[in-house]
């Protein structure tokens, strides 16, 4: 990393989440009576920015919201979390991004997102946030905004001399332009399977095999395996796995974003990949086992 002051720049999604808790997630055509619900500010980009900022590293968010109640709540949350949100624009003609997540009694969930304003991001937003793309900075991307927007942001960070981390979630094909700009890829088993175009077993061994396969395409690959742990492989042939920290699960919601945000902050500070993964692994374990965090 550069000797310049480390910082994290998150380019991506902001969603206002409606969290619904019940005994089980409904099957097709089924109505389930829930226990309670609550709102939460999220979006993979927003969550990752907040997680990075919690570690104390300067963090900026580049995103888009509408001038509506959801948008106001999302920007207020960034401000409370000490995330620089000067580069979050307000758009017209669409609503702010939102999602509904339905949790079962075991803490697992399924979700539906409505992207809304997040789909309005593009080159103009990269240009408007040019001050954030500097040598020594680390850029975090996700798949909840258009691929071409991610390409624009990644190009700007590479030109500035920074590092690009892509959390390729949710799963979708990546353009060749984006792939060649990524320094660190972070995926789970489902996303790894789509990118590798081969079946991936959702175990730590499966994650390790997937990481090695994907390292042919990306310099550093991190594959998470939920409660089993996380695996890493590099293009140079280095590979290792770290078991998950055993905790009592409260909710898995946001675990991947917490992991990615902390991983990014550690890498920006100059930590090696193993040390960064260990810190991220610990942070995710704390989050999934802490009621007030979910």
Mean pLDDT split into 10-residue runs, the chain, 294 residues: 76 96 92 94 96 98 98 98 98 96 86 94 98 96 97 98 96 96 96 88 90 96 92 97 81 82 98 97 84 54
Distance separating alpha carbons of residues 222 and 114, to the nearest angstrom: 27
Nearest one of 200, 204, 10, 40 to 109, comparing CA atoms = 40
β-strand partners of 3: none
- Residues 6+ positions from 260 with CB-CB distance below 8 Å: 44, 48, 51, 140, 165, 167, 186, 280
Residue-level pLDDT at 3? 46
Angle between the N-to-C axes of helices 69-80 and 44-54, in degrees from 0 to 180, rounded to the nearest 10: 20
Which residues are registered as beta bridge partners of 13? none
pLDDT at 163: 98
d(CA 34, CA 203): 31
What pTM was computed for the model? 0.92
pLDDT at residue 1 in the model: 41
Max CA separation in the chain (angstroms): 57
Rounded to whole angstroms, how far apart are CA atoms 58 and 255?
21
Report the alpha-carbon angle 269-272-273, nearest 5: 110
Instruction: Give domain limits for the chain.
Output: 7-182+245-293
Helical axes 204-214 vs 189-196, angle rounded to 10°: 40
Cα Rg of the chain, angstroms: 18
249, burial (CB in 10 Å: exposed 0-12, middle 13-18, buried 19+): middle
The CATH T-level fold of domain 7-182+245-293 is 3.40.1190
Instruction: Kindly state the DSSP code that residue 1 receives in the 8-state scheme.
Output: -
pLDDT at 253: 65
Q: What pLDDT shows up at residue 251?
A: 63
SS3 87: strand
């Amino acid at each position: 990393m550069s000797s310049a002051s480390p910082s994290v720049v998150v380019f991506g999604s902001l969603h206002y989440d409606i969290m619904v808790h019940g005994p089980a997630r409904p099957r097709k055509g089924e109505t389930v009576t829930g226990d309670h619900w609550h709102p939460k500010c999220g979006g993979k980009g927003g969550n990752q920015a907040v997680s990075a900022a919690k570690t104390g590293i300067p963090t900026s968010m580049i995103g888009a919201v509408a001038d509506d109640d959801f948008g106001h709540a999302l920007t207020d949350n960034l401000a409370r979390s000490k995330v620089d949100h000067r580069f979050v624009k307000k758009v017209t003609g669409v609503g702010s991004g939102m999602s509904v997540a339905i949790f079962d009694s075991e803490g697992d969930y399924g979700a539906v997102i409505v992207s809304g304003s997040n789909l309005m991001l593009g080159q103009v937003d990269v240009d408007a946030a040019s001050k954030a793309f500097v040598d020594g900075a680390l850029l975090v991307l996700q798949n909840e905004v258009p691929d071409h927007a991610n390409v624009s942001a990644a190009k700007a960070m590479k030109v500035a001399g920074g590092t690009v981390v892509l959390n390729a979630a949710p799963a979708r094909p990546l353009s060749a332009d984006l792939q060649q700009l990524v320094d660190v890829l972070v995926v789970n088993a489902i996303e790894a399977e789509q990118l590798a175009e081969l079946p991936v077993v959702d175990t730590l061994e499966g994650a390790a095999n997937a990481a090695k396969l994907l390292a042919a395409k990306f310099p550093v690959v991190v594959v998470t395996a939920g409660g089993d742990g996380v695996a890493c492989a590099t293009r140079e042939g280095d590979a290792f796995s770290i078991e998950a920290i055993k905790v009592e699960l409260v909710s898995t919601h946001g675990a991947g974003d917490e992991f990615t945000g902390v991983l990014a902050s550690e890498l920006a500070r100059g930590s090696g990949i193993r040390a960064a993964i260990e810190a991220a692994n610990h942070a995710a374990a704390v989050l999934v086992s802490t009621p007030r965090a979910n």
